Chains A and B, each alone.
Chain A
Amino acid sequence: MGNKQQAGTAKKVGIPALFIILAILPPFFLSQYWLHVMIISLFYVMMASSWNLIAGFTGQVSFAHAAFSGIGAYASGMVAVNLGVPPWLGILIGTGVAALLGLGLGYLCIRMGGIYLSLTTLGFSEILRIIITNEDKWTRGTMGLQVPGFFSEYSKANYYYLFLVVTIFLLIVIYWIVHSEMGLTFRAVLNDELAASSSGINTIRVRILAFTISSAMAGLAGGLYGHYLMLITPDIPSLGQMFLVLAMAVIGGMGSFIGPIVGSFVLETLSEYIRIYGEYHVLLFGLVALAMARFAPEGLMGIVGKKWRKEWVH
């Protein structure tokens, strides 16, 4: 028993530790270009994993996730440009604004549930994009909002480590939530909402909570992303971005912890190779995601991991 437990703990701590050590290495041998790809991948890991928290663990397919990352980015960018707030503080403000708006939108539309939630969030997302695109004074429309970066001296390696640290932080929080009693209520709501409610779980509150947490995480990811690019455009809260995140989570494996992480790296790297086909790569990913959802609902991790998972998780 003791040995088994020790082996379990070793796996639980050892494997992530190994990955973290490996993750420190890229800046030492990757070109600037591929380092950039890694940074963007980390952004998508944050996006897909936090979207997975609502879509994969409470079954609410929200299309407003990219919109919330846009809210985080623009909120942080605007306080930096207009009030001179440093980006470090700005991204926290952006996270807070995204959380508040997430709470508000969640409160309004979560009671509807199912397809209505998806449609409402889709609408919210488009309205936000249109406002941002047409507004000139604050958001600078399609020109984009130029914002300061995090470091006085530009270094891709620094950004890589910053993204890495925040991503790991978010993943730890997500892991903790999923394995806590709160996460258990998330899963209960996903499994059977009526049974959860009849067992004393306030299902509406649980779903609004998940939505708010997830929106805040998108806001944080968006804020980081904006200050890394130093130019915030309406592409960040666009539906194209949303579908990319969705495809990453679905192809990687929704409802699993590793799935969205794998999906993000695979799809972001892949899209660098098929960049020449322009925006068609989103279409391609969408089709693959559809096929996966139909034939392999547990995604890549479900296909590769059937045997693995038994060994690693249990």
Chain B
Amino acid sequence: MGALIEGKGLTKSFGGLTALKGVDFHLDEGEIIGLIGPNGAGKTTLFNLVSGVFHPDSGKLYFNSKNITILKPFEICRLGIARTFQIVRPFLKMSCFENTLVGIIGRNDKNGGKEERKDEVRTLLKFVGLGNREQTLAKDLTLIEKKRLEMARALATKPKVLLLDEVLAGLNPSEILQALELIEVIRTQLKMTVFWIEHVMGAIMKASDRIIVLDQGEKIKEGKAEEIVSDLKVIEAYLGESDA
């Protein structure tokens, strides 16, 4: 069986700036794959291509061997790829309950009665730790709660792949541990594949099966955590070249 998601030669420029240059990557089913790189490396651009927010200038994207290169975000979401945003984007003037319900409506699967949907929303909100926030407007949540709400909304679409863009940023160490447990549960119980961008190195190294490193729009390294941390190119990308 082939990869669940496969990107071939993905290139994307914005004006004169090339954000991605011929990036190849793949995600296998059930994996947790980390995406790291310095600021401006093109991580979020890659997410935007996979989720259909932008389309690549050249290159192809496949999901379950189906070409999804030029599909719109809602079509990609319905196929089974959901995401969260680096700068959170919950529906601010809607309650947590309504935010999550949008994800369920987004599945467009028609089955399930009103009560079933309500139960599902409640289960999801409990799952991300917002069980007592059902009627709170998203704008009144803390940043961390907003991130959890985005997670609930993404999970509500019943994705096969979850793209998480810096969900750990701004969390304290114990909250990071909770979040990591949540991600592990998402993989083991919900059987989802997780593709995540993170700057919290310890966490992403520990929790990922495989890590992809981008620098200035190119993939400079891919492999297990221990291979990444000892790689000279990766260290250079983060710390700058040594003179020696």
Counting chain B CB atoms within 10 Å of each CB, the highest count among A181, A194, A195, A196 belongs to A195
When chains A and B are docked, how far (Å) is the Cα of A213 from the Cα of B223? 53
Chain A 164-203 against B: per-residue CB contact (8 Å), 1 yes, 0 no? 0000000000000000010011011001101111111111
When chains A and B are docked, how far (Å) is the Cα of A85 from the Cα of B43? 64
- B102–A197 CB distance below 8 A: no
**B81: nearest residue on chain A (CB-CB)?**
A198
Chain B 150-165 against A: per-residue CB contact (8 Å), 1 yes, 0 no? 0001101100000000
When chains A and B are docked, how far (Å) is the Cα of A195 from the Cα of B93? 13
Can you report 6 A-B residue pairs in the complex whose CB atoms are below 8 A from each other? A184-B102, A185-B105, A188-B91, A192-B89, A195-B89, A198-B85
Interface residues on A, range: 10 to 19
Within 8 Å of chain A (Cβ to Cβ): is B217?
no
- B102–A203 CB distance below 8 A: no
> Which B residues touch A192, using CB under 8 A?
89-92
> Which A residues touch B108, using CB under 8 A?
200
Within 8 Å of chain A (Cβ to Cβ): is B30?
no
Task: Decide: A203 near B94, CB < 8 A? Known: A181-B105, A195-B85, A198-B51.
Answer: no
Task: Decide: A199 near B93, CB < 8 A? Known: A194-B53, A194-B73.
Answer: no
Task: Decide: A187 near B93, CB < 8 A? Known: A200-B106, A200-B107, A200-B108.
Answer: yes
> Which A residues touch B77, using CB under 8 A?
197-200
> Which B residues touch A191, using CB under 8 A?
91-94
- A188–B102 CB distance below 8 A: yes
> For chain B residues 94-141, which have a beta carbon within 8 Å of chain A?
94, 98, 101-103, 105-108
Q: Which residues of B contact A (CB under 8 A)?
A: 51-53, 72-74, 77-78, 82-83, 85, 89-94, 98, 101-103, 105-108, 153-154, 156-157
Closest chain B CB from A217 CB (angstroms)? 23
- Which among B74, B94, B156 is the interface contact of A187 at CB below 8 angstroms? B94
> Which A residues touch B74, using CB under 8 A?
197-203
> Which B residues touch A199, using CB under 8 A?
74, 77, 82, 102-103, 106, 153-154, 156-157
**Chain A to chain B: the 6 pairs with minimum beta-carbon distance, closest first:** A200-B106, A191-B91, A200-B77, A197-B73, A195-B89, A199-B106
Counting chain B CB atoms within 10 Å of each CB, the highest count among A181, A196, A198 belongs to A198
**A185: nearest residue on chain B (CB-CB)?**
B105
Counting chain A CB atoms within 10 Å of each CB, the highest count among B53, B73, B89, B101 belongs to B73
> Which A residues touch B154, using CB under 8 A?
199
Closest chain A CB from B143 CB (angstroms)? 16
- A194–B89 CB distance below 8 A: yes
Task: Decide: A196 near B102, CB < 8 A? Known: A187-B93, A191-B93.
Answer: yes
When chains A and B are docked, how far (Å) is the Cα of A115 from the Cα of B78? 30
Closest chain A CB from B6 CB (angstroms)? 21
When chains A and B are docked, how far (Å) is the Cα of A187 from the Cα of B95? 11
- A184–B101 CB distance below 8 A: yes
When chains A and B are docked, how far (Å) is the Cα of A18 from the Cα of B51? 50
Closest chain A CB from B49 CB (angstroms)? 13
- B53–A198 CB distance below 8 A: yes
> Which A residues touch B53, using CB under 8 A?
194, 198
When chains A and B are docked, how far (Å) is the Cα of A187 from the Cα of B98? 10
> Which A residues touch B73, using CB under 8 A?
194, 197-198
When chains A and B are docked, how far (Å) is the Cα of A195 from the Cα of B52? 12
> Which A residues touch B52, using CB under 8 A?
198
- A185–B102 CB distance below 8 A: yes
When chains A and B are docked, how far (Å) is the Cα of A84 from the Cα of B77? 52
When chains A and B are docked, how far (Å) is the Cα of A187 from the Cα of B93? 9
Closest chain A CB from B162 CB (angstroms)? 12
When chains A and B are docked, how far (Å) is the Cα of A191 from the Cα of B90? 8
